Structure 1
Amino acid sequence: MKKNVLKNRSDAKLNKQIILWRALSNYAKYGPKSSFTNIITESELNSISSKELVGLIHGLLSYKHRISYYGPDNLKCY
């Protein structure tokens, strides 16, 4: 999993489409806090164990969430 992330990052650095369109567009919208700069560093990624990563993935379902609905109060209108 770590190798795939690092490989995808290195491939993205060479892809002009990603750099010119996605990265610059994101930077123009969000500035230095864009999603392209808000990533875990390679050294941090390598220091995390596989068990920790799997634990984080399994823990995603335990996060509190809130569902918002914007529409009719009831389904009778359908």
Structure 2
Amino acid sequence: MEDHRGQNVVFLELGVGYNTPGIIKYNFWQYAHNWRNAFYVCINKGDAYVPKEIENKAVGINADLAEVLYLCNS
């Protein structure tokens, strides 16, 4: 991961819940917060949360992942 620090990076979280947030979710938040050129995107129906600390470099999409992917492919 450190090889990409300073580059434009998007951390894309797709449908990750809170069963094991320490594996993906919390790490992505930290990277988005600490890396100048990082952006965080969360797509999760009913749980597209963006922490206040990164709200200026993040977006939460509260929608079904399959529908979002379908629309992107249309």
Query: Given the two structures, how large is their TM-score scaled by the length of structure 2?
Result: 0.33
Greater helix proportion: 1
Structure of larger gyration radius: 1
Query: Given the two structures, how large is their TM-score scaled by the length of structure 1?
Result: 0.32
